[in-house]
A and B are shown apart, each in its own frame.
Chain A
Amino acid sequence: MWRPDRVAVTAAGVVTPIGQDVDSFWSSLLTGADGISTIERFAVSDLRVGRGGEIKKLTRVKDWNGVPDCRATRLLVSAADELCASAGRPIPVDPHRLAVVVGTALGGVGEGERALGGDGRRRRLTGALYDAPAHDLARWLGARGPVLTVSTACASGASAIGLGADLLRAGVADAVVAGGYDALCRFVMRGFDALRSLTRERLRPFDRRRSGLLLGEAAALVLLRREADAGRQRLGTVLGHASTGDGSHIAAPDPDGRGLQRAIAQAMTHAGVTPAQVDFVSAHGTATVLNDRIETAVLKRALGERARAIPVNSIKPTMGHTMGAAATLEAIMCLLAGRHGVIPPTRYLEEPDPECDLDYVPGTARTAPCRTSLSTSLGFGGQNAALILEAAPA
């Protein structure tokens, strides 16, 4: 049965190039750490750009026994290990009522590369299917409820949180581990290199000199519960969400951002939130010429005058665009910003683009009340997602 309950975020876990737990991730965002480096795990010398947000060594999990030798799975398990440190392992809920909903742009494609590269193990082939890491995670968690993989490209991490919240509201599950992940691999580096989307400079969202993005790898998970079941421990609440398609172009966003605008409007309606109640926006902010201009215009249309009054940031310069993980990391950042009343800066924004004329929090972190936030995401295939989040008090 559908329940009107709000959905609480009760725990989180992350693994990123700037920290392998939520605390270090958050402090790195505030202090301006830089997780971009030369990629070392696979060959990049033939590519225009060989830098990205690579995690040099996964340090959190000491015992990989029973966990497949798959980068994507190990990122997920690393994030889940932190989540379980606060939520418990096993998570204290009937395993048949524990669902897993994770988003990804690439799934286990790195396994496919290895299989086609001569690694004959059968695991490589089955692991190449995009839903393999989610099932690996479910096994590690002991989850016996629904296991769903969302692939709305780089909006996946937001779509997964929204779908997870829906499973709770529908009464299909009592707890949902939701989030997103993606691992760097040669496949994706080659692809974005061929698209000429990668910059040789810094990733500078909303800066007039911006020249493209850098990729990163990460996993981010949250534990969702209906508020009535959540207890006192919580990071915040998922108030609303929406996912839309542009129907405009296979790779580029709609030039007018109509799909993103609809996603924002639907998420706000779902949340019962007006523009006046939005305190802060976490933008997709990829630093491509098109994205930042379109996103700015959409925020002005969707939020009206309020858009000029509230801070907007992008955390992608610190670790690159982490694809399927990005929106979940940004959602966690929103909840932490609201809890602490501090907004991480948009790093490397120094010369604002006149067409990008909102308050993007350049320079250093800013103290500001930001309890209710909007997080926007866009992806290949004209996919858009918006989340409305409310932080819990500290």
Chain B
Amino acid sequence: MNTSEVEAPAIRAIGLWTGWGRGAGAFPADAAVAAAGRPVLSLGRAEDADPRLGAERFRRATRECLWALASVGAMLEDGGAAREALAGARTALVYVTAAAYGASNRAFIESSGSGTHFAYTAPAVVAAEVAIEFGFAGPSMVLIGGAPATIQGIWHAATLLASGACDRALVLAVELFEECADLYVRAGRACSRPLVEAAACVWLTPGEGRLALDAAGLGRVGADSVRRRLGETFACEPLAALGVERAAGRGARTLCGSWRGQTAALSW
């Protein structure tokens, strides 16, 4: 067993946007049925969801950056907190994505892009945009991968909180597919479940009890039901599952996910 325990963090708030709409309440009962053959469910423009993101200072930011900002904004609303609550060097950020950088990579490869365009191809720049906008500068980590990477990201955030390296930790995940939809179809990724764009952020604070990581995912429970409702969201799936629990008024219990033959699970 690749299991380990750490002090469990508390979930202060969750911000969640998906191609189905805002929050877990927008999820259909069955994503494949609701998608009605559409291979990709787009989030669309972040500026339409959050008009503040139409400001001049965001004119160069990519769609993945803007949706990251939108999910943090939604998280603050969920927690009834002002943005100042995140400011400072005691806020950690763990950003996870499997593929959100694909859009900016493709745009740069297929154009005669500028240096600014190139900078935005780095996944770390999504984390930077969020940190700049909300004024924090604490521990930082960027992980690439699907749901197990997010589970490891939540675990990493919990260890940062438990060790006193930060007072609060955000775990952020963004996945966009629209710009590369043809490539996903070619790669056979868009098949039984639609690819559903998503951006989610969870705010963790020191909590009570224990959090157990099963890095081999042997306690696999629940992921399929979320995926059936939500569709394929790669790294966003565990955070969406937390959103479902929160919307139902339940605390977090077990999270699990799989990707490239790897599985991982967390139990509160």
By a beta-carbon cutoff of 8 Å, the part of chain A in contact with chain B is 1-2, 96-97, 99, 104-105, 107, 109, 112-113, 115-116, 120, 122, 125-126, 128-131, 135, 144-153, 159, 163, 166-167, 170-173, 187, 190-192, 194-197, 242-251, 258-259, 262, 266, 379-384
Contact = CB atoms under 8 A, between A and B. Distances in A.
Given A191-B119, A382-B128, 19 more contacts: A1-B4, A104-B144, A107-B144, A113-B109, A115-B183, A135-B261, A146-B215, A146-B264, A148-B143, A148-B145, A170-B4, A242-B165, A244-B89, A244-B138, A245-B131, A246-B137, A250-B125, A382-B137, A383-B140
A130 B132 contact: no
B192 interface: no
B155 to A, nearest CB: 8
B183 A245 contact: no
B99 interface: yes
Contacts of A135: 260-262
B159 A130 contact: no
A44 to B, nearest CB: 15
A242 B145 contact: no
A249 B132 contact: yes
Nearest to B7: A2
A187 B142 contact: no
Interface of B: 2-6, 89, 93, 98-99, 101-102, 105-106, 108-110, 113-115, 117-129, 131-132, 135-145, 148-149, 152, 155-156, 159, 165, 183-184, 186-188, 213, 215-216, 260-262, 264
Contacts of B108: 187, 190-191
B106 A170 contact: no
A120 B188 CA distance: 12
A245 B143 CA distance: 14
Contacts of A380: 119, 122, 124-125, 128
9 contacts: A96-B216, A122-B186, A131-B149, A171-B3, A187-B108, A194-B118, A247-B132, A381-B122, A383-B140
Contact of A195 (B115, B137, B139): B115
Ranked nearest first, the 6 interchain pairs of A and B with the lowest CB-CB distance are A381-B124, A245-B140, A191-B118, A247-B131, A195-B115, A381-B128
The SS class assigned to the A binding surface is mixed
Contact of A147 (B99, B124, B262): B262
A157 B121 CA distance: 19
A180 to B, nearest CB: 13
B144 to A, nearest CB: 4
A1 B5 contact: yes
A250 B118 CA distance: 11
Contacts of A113: 109
